[in-house]
Structure formats: C-alpha cells, structure tokens
Amino acid sequence: MIMASTDEMQAQLGYELAVYREQIAMIKRETERVSLTTLDLSNALRTVENLSAETALIPIGGGALVRGTIIHTKVLVPIGGEYMLEMEREAAVQELTRRIEATKKAVEKLTEEFNRIAGKLREVAGQLQQMQAQTQLNDRVDSNIHEDYI
C-alpha cells in the first residue's frame, strides 16, 4: 500500500516538473518577444529623435526603398489593434520612451516569474530525486532481506 502511495507521489512530482518546465519555456519565449519589441522601439526612437528635413531612404514595402526628402516630421505611432496615431515628433519621442520603459518592466516581471518557477522546479526535482533514491534503497534492502531469509 505504501508503494502505491510513493508511486503516486512520484507521478505527481513528475507531472509538476513537466508543468514547471513548460512554464519556463513559455516565459523564455515571451521574454525574447518582449526584448525584440524593446529593440524595435529603441530603433524607432533613435530614428524619430534624429528626424529632420533631409534626404532619407524610405521603406515602401517588400524590402524596397525610395530616396525621398522629409518635409513633414509628424510621426505615425501604433497605438494597438493595428491603429496608428499621428503625433508631433516630441510627442512621438515621449510615447516611444514610455513604451520602452513598459517593455523593460515587463522583462523584469518575466525574469522574476522565471526565477520563482525555476526555484520551484529545483525544489520539486530535488524531492523527486530524493524519493527515487529512497525507493531504490528500499528495493535493495527488501532484496537483501529476501536473499538472507529465503
């Protein structure tokens, strides 16, 4: 009866390990995505900060560029749901800076969550290892007793 309980506990701990590993993988993917967003926003911020009325290469899609002269320094900034808002250069700089800070905070929170789950993963892995070692030891003792008395 105790063996079934131990087996059930090992199965439960194995399941918890799998769940924690999947959560860690999801957090890693999300951290990478948010980090790329931060990089993208930082590049956009540098471009907007250096925006002036001069000749530039302007992307027109499909990897094609057009050489043009910038006469208007208003910026279209995405506001979500594929909507854009036209802003003056200074307002766009402020908005992009705000978004960069928000993505940095998101990465910090994801890192905290990653560390918390990694700690739980180590704890559960240790418990499972300890239980497996104890089970192996019990099996050896049972085997030795069986050999000694039979």
Domain layout of the chain by residue ranges:
13-49+109-150, 51-93
Reported as a single tens digit per residue, the pLDDT across 16-33 is 999 999 999 999 999 999
- Name 44's Cβ contacts closer than 8 Å, sequence gap at least 6: 96
Report d(CA 98, CA 94) in Å as an integer: 6
Predicted confidence at residue 56, as pLDDT, reads 79
pLDDT of residue 32: 96
> At residue 3, does pLDDT exceed 60?
no
Q: Collapsing DSSP states into helix, strand and coil, what is residue 76?
A: strand
Convert the pLDDT of each residue in 50-70 to its tens digit. 877 777 788 888 889 898 888
pLDDT of res. 27? 95
Predicted confidence at residue 47, as pLDDT, reads: 84
CA of residue 92 relative to chain centroid, distance: 27
**Residue for token pair 């050999």:** 147
pLDDT (0 to 100) of residue 146 = 63
